[in-house]
Chain A
Amino acid sequence: MKRLVFKITHNGREWVVRNESMTLSSPTLDELDIRMGELLRERGEIGQGERVRVIMEFDSSSIPQWIRQYTHHYFDRVVEIEG
């Protein structure tokens, strides 16, 4: 299955997902996943009936440094999106 890797963080109002070629933001993860699907279809990253595994790794560098010494891993999301 094709894999697309993104960084994800939160800016206080919205979840922000980005990689070198695109940035997407949304207040909820539900909406984010829907918009991600739409965007990938628009850009031709998913073909009809094809499944893509979207990996959203939390950007640890956005965690305040004083917290990073306790733990540096928030989450990695894996979402499978169908074309």
Chain B
Amino acid sequence: MAQPERRWYTGMLTTEDWWAVWLGVGFFFLSLFTLAGVDLVGWITYPTKWVFSPPPEGKGAIGHAFYALGKKYSVTAKGFYKGLGWWSVIWTYVIFTIATCIGAGAMKWNVKRFFVGWTIIYFLTIACWFIGHHAFIAANKLNMRQYGLNFALSLGGGGSFILALIVGLIIGNFFRGFARFLSEAAKPEWYIKTAIVTLGVKLGYLPIKLAGMSQKLGKEAAGLTFELFVAGAAATIVAYMIFWPGVYIISRKIFNLPRKTAAVLGSGISICGVSAAVATGGAVRAKPVVSIMVSALVVVWAVIELIILPGFYTHVWPTTKDPLVAGAAMGMSVKTDGADAAAGELMDEFMRNKIEVETNGAVKWPAGIITSSAVMTKVWIDMFIGIWAFVLAMVWVYRIERRPGEKVPASEVWHRFPKFVLGYFFCWFFLLALYFGPGQSGAPEAMPFLKSVKAGAVPIEKGMRKLFFMLTFMSLGIITDFKKLREAQFGKMVWVYFVSLFFFIIPVAALIAYLFHHGMQIPNIAGYVKP
């Protein structure tokens, strides 16, 4: 029997990449039932700030710390979802458990182990989400009095992310046996790819949301997302073509590494981390161990960047003066989609809180735009690696190694294409089509229609997206073992990474992000939302 050949559709049911699309787009489609008057996604849970003893006239009852988003946004089933309260945590668990276990089964994982690991990770995540929303952590000086507090850390939702990462890192570094047990379900890339698909919903929903405040704001938001798309593409191509040869030269000339290792490191450090290291390893026909070693380093360094950069960009440079420069720079600096999107989301929380406090509430930014700028450059990078790997393969096969008879098939570009990106763009453009089409660009007569779209979109872009971000933080921590950096076999590579990242990649990324994003403004919604 002949070996079946790989086709363009191979892996559609067996890879995380495609399963991120199925999960994200699947729940997005469920959300569209609101257009027919049926709300199928209002059960998705969301936390709110709480305190142990709320003041009599204030907010923050612990019994309301979690609620079903349908309670606030549903058009047709508000009453039902209002009654769920904390039970929404269980509804969310059951429904996402079924969905992810189907995915795990299709990908031929050990479903029983995945189920147990997922359950533990889910409830640990919910616990961090809950604790991170204690008003002492999440409130700021403008709203802390509502909770009867005189001081608050002003971390917004960022406190929950940090907590999830810390808990994950403690498990990953001090309870290694437990971390191994959880590894079947600790899949930060799967979760973040799913979250990025739902970020597509966020991008498409943004003009709809702002149109609800004013038609002009809605149009501004649609324009801004398009500008991010174009600026992100240009910045990425420039950064790419500077980063790769730069790190290649550093690896070859300063650290005297072999050609193939330098090429793989060049991609791993400078482009999109693990996927670039694997794609380049394959392209230059390196032994897989090269890519695997580089990948093991990438995931650890990416988490170090995730810890350092959001705070640095928020408080040192470019601060709230240029938030989208910071976002774009993040996307080009932090390797791996998970760490980058997580860092972008953390910075989104930090910056929104900072600007609100700095201006005493006169400026408020909608959530998710800074995250989107960080993800936009990363998505372009992810798409471009397939093309760059194809070019490298041709250089290696036809010029450097000149192996007789070997051809480089163009299908490699497709096989390396990140499929979750399709889900991201699909959701974004689908909602944009609704906004510009039946939504009449936010005209007052189309508001009832746009309100129905909103009822479905919010649970996905807010609840599901944040949950999958939280799961990403937790899983990233669990799989990150800092001991890897001490392993002797990595010695030289750790230093190449350090020098390249901090003295070359991060500064150049910031400069390029500045050239293409300087001065871009996030719409101010302070006049339209409750303080």
Contacts and interface: CB of A to CB of B under 8 A. Distances in A.
A13 to B, nearest CB: 9
Interface stretch (B60-68, B182-190, B424-432): B182-190
Nearest to B188: A69
B74 interface: no
Contacts of B418: 71
A55 B6 CA distance: 10
Given A69-B16, A69-B189, A12 B289 contact: yes
Contact of B415 (A20, A73, A77): A73
Interface in A29-54: 29-30, 33
B5 A70 contact: no
Contact of B406 (A4, A5, A58, A78): A78
B263 interface: no
B11 interface: yes
Interface string A1-35: 00111110110100000011000000001100100
Nearest to B284: A75
Contact of B3 (A6, A68, A71, A77): A6
A79 B405 contact: yes
Interface stretch (B116-124, B212-220, B270-278, B356-364): B270-278
Contacts of B11: 72
A67 to B, nearest CB: 6
Nearest to A15: B287
A74 B281 contact: yes
Nearest to B108: A61
A70 B406 contact: no
A65 B278 CA distance: 13
B187 A76 contact: no
Which of A67, A71, A81 is packed against the most chain B CB atoms within 10 Å? A71
A3 B5 contact: yes
A41 to B, nearest CB: 14
A82 B3 contact: no
A67 B295 contact: yes
Contacts of A78: 406-409
Nearest to B273: A70
B336 A70 contact: yes
A10 B137 CA distance: 50
A48 B474 CA distance: 60
A76 to B, nearest CB: 6
- Chain B interface size, under 10 / 10 to 19 / 20 to 34 / 35 or more: 35 or more
Contacts of B279: 71, 73
B285 A5 contact: no
A77 B159 CA distance: 47
B409 A68 contact: no
A76 B6 contact: yes
A76 B415 contact: yes
Contacts of A79: 403, 405-407
Contacts of A70: 189, 273-275, 278, 295, 336
A19 B76 CA distance: 58
Which of A6, A62, A67, A79 is packed against the most chain B CB atoms within 10 Å? A67
A75 B282 contact: yes
A73 B389 CA distance: 12
A45 to B, nearest CB: 12
Nearest to A36: B405
A73 B4 contact: no
A58 B282 contact: yes
A71 B416 contact: yes
Interface string B145-165: 000000000000000000000
A1 B42 CA distance: 56
25 contacts: A5-B4, A10-B289, A20-B3, A29-B401, A30-B401, A33-B406, A55-B5, A58-B282, A66-B183, A66-B479, A67-B291, A67-B295, A69-B187, A71-B274, A71-B275, A71-B418, A72-B11, A73-B279, A73-B412, A74-B282, A77-B285, A77-B406, A78-B407, A79-B406, A81-B405
- Minimum-distance CB pairs A-B, first 7: A75-B282, A70-B274, A71-B275, A5-B3, A69-B189, A74-B282, A73-B415
Interface of B: 1-6, 11, 15-17, 109, 183, 187-190, 273-275, 278-279, 281-283, 285, 287-289, 291-292, 295, 336, 393, 401, 403-409, 411-412, 415-416, 418, 479
Given A69-B190, A71-B416, A78-B406, 19 more contacts: A5-B4, A19-B2, A19-B3, A20-B1, A29-B403, A30-B401, A57-B5, A62-B288, A68-B15, A69-B187, A70-B274, A70-B295, A73-B279, A75-B393, A75-B412, A76-B411, A78-B408, A79-B405, A79-B407
